[in-house]
Amino acid sequence: MSLRAIYYDTETTGIKPDRDRIIEIAAYDPVRHLHFEKFINPGCPIPAEATAIHHITDEMVASASSFGQVAQEFMEFCEGDVVLIAHNNDSFDVHFLRNEYERHALQMPAWKFLDSLKWARRYRPDLPRHTLQFLREIYGIAANNAHRALDDVLVLYALFSALMDDLSIEEVYQLLNHPRAIQHMPFGKYQGKPLNQVPHSYVQWLASTGAFDKGENQELKVSFQRLGLFA
């Protein structure tokens, strides 16, 4: 598998993919050294609280194309065997993309996706936060216009290049999508104990606390599922 990475980001009218709309999409293809950046007219007013974050106003998108028109250009930009990378992709950007494609009766390509936030949590569990701007500061990447799509994309490219270390895009993708099996409990009162000896009641308690919702515990969750200790 030889994947071409494309880094992307969206700005939206809010945080609800089923209700809010994409108003800007940007991407960067480091292999071809190409940028993509488009405003999108959402067909509805942009809430003031959203504008306060990304500084995109109704006037800025008034003459922009609809998502349906921009989608074709974006698909052409992302042609080939690519993996689309965004920070917090799995909880945000990809859901907005899917809803916009569905809303405009379009078939979204079978792109592969990679969430750099999940990778950062796995690669740097020692850090207290993993937001794009916090990681930018940790890795000494120059500040830019935060929360504008292309600026965030370029920061993400520089950051993820550092986070990958000497791994390839393919290796990172495989590691995130095919978690390794954990053999021993990594933390808590049963730390060091083989997973098959951890009481079922303790596993259920961890689930009730939301421990398995954390990105760094996804491999542990899968390992318990394989043992039949967690549904």
- Of the candidates 147, 178, 184, 200, the residue annotated as catalytic is 147
- The reported pLDDT for the residue numbered 174 is 85
Q: What is the DSSP string of 112-131?
A: EEEEHHHHHHHH-TTSS---
Total-model pTM: 0.78
Query: Which DSSP category does 184 fall into?
Result: B
**Active-site residue 147, yes or no?**
yes
Write the pLDDT tens digit of every residue in 112-134.
999 999 999 888 888 999 999 99
- The reported pLDDT for the residue numbered 229 is 82
- The reported pLDDT for the residue numbered 176 is 86
| Sequence spans of domains, the chain | 4-177, 181-231
**C-alpha torsion 87→140→30→50, nearest 10:** 40
- The reported pLDDT for the residue numbered 67 is 97
- The reported pLDDT for the residue numbered 1 is 53
Distance (Å) of CA 145 to CA 116, 189, 196? 20, 45, 49
Q: Which parts of the chain have pLDDT scores under 70?
A: 1, 146-147, 179-180, 215, 231
CATH number of 4-177: 3.30.420.10
- The reported pLDDT for the residue numbered 144 is 77
110 close to 79: Cβ distance less than 8 angstroms: no
